């Protein structure tokens, strides 16, 4: 006769599972920390250009989601949590946006791709209005010579921040496109 015994997971296994889960979805980045770059004076743009630092703070919500940052319609790069990009340009407006995909597609192309290459996808894709669905959180910042602007990616929004708030919030973020020294 077979007896039934209850099985429990030992506490050390639960801890191991939790650590593995956090590592898998933490969105870790590598590169110089913003606080170290600030201390070294490398966050300030040169040659009369302005700089915008776009950052995502560390956190659990959305940690497994990779975003793609765009500046003036050009792909800057992929971005996880706990990271930032800098973008240098001549003084003036810079249009920022982000997406979950690096390529441009129209709404019709997205629908057609989702429905497959069959007749339904072609018909619905042709009916959809043209226009990119890639962009989210559009914001334009006005760069000034030799100054850094700060923008936080916050859920589905890009939020301009004051220099004090931006610097403080991105202290623990890693610089993904640090210029060579």
Domain boundaries, the chain: 28-102+135-175
CATH architecture for segment(s) 28-102+135-175: Sandwich (2.60)
Average pLDDT, the chain: 76
Largest CA distance in the chain: 84
Residue of 135, 133, 116, 132 lying closest to 124 (CA atoms): 116
| pTM of full prediction above 0.85 | no
Confidence class for position 27, pLDDT limits 50, 70, 90:
very low
Rounded CA gap, 101 and 99, in Å? 5
The H or E element containing residue 143 is strand 136-143
142 pLDDT exceeds 70?
Answer: yes
Report, as an integer, the average pLDDT of 51-68.
78
């Amino acid at each position: 006769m077979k007896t039934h015994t209850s099985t429990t997971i030992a506490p050390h296994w639960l801890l191991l599972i939790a650590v593995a889960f956090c590592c898998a979805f933490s969105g870790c980045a590598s590169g110089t920390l913003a606080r170290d770059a600030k201390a070294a004076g490398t966050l300030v743009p040169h040659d009369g250009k302005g700089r915008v630092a776009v950052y995502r703070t560390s956190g659990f919500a959305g940690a497994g989601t990779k975003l793609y940052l765009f500046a003036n319609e050009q792909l800057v790069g992929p971005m996880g949590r706990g990271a930032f990009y800098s973008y240098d340009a001549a003084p003036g407006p810079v249009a920022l946006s982000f997406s979950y995909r690096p390529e441009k597609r129209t709404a019709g192309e997205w629908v057609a791709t989702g429905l497959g290459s069959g007749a339904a996808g072609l018909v619905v894709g042709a009916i959809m209005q043209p226009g990119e669905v890639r962009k989210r959180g559009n914001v334009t910042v006005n760069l000034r010579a030799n100054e850094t602007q700060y923008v936080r990616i916050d859920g589905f929004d890009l939020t301009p921040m004051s220099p004090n708030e931006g610097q403080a919030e991105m202290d623990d973020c890693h610089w993904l496109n640090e210029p060579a020294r």
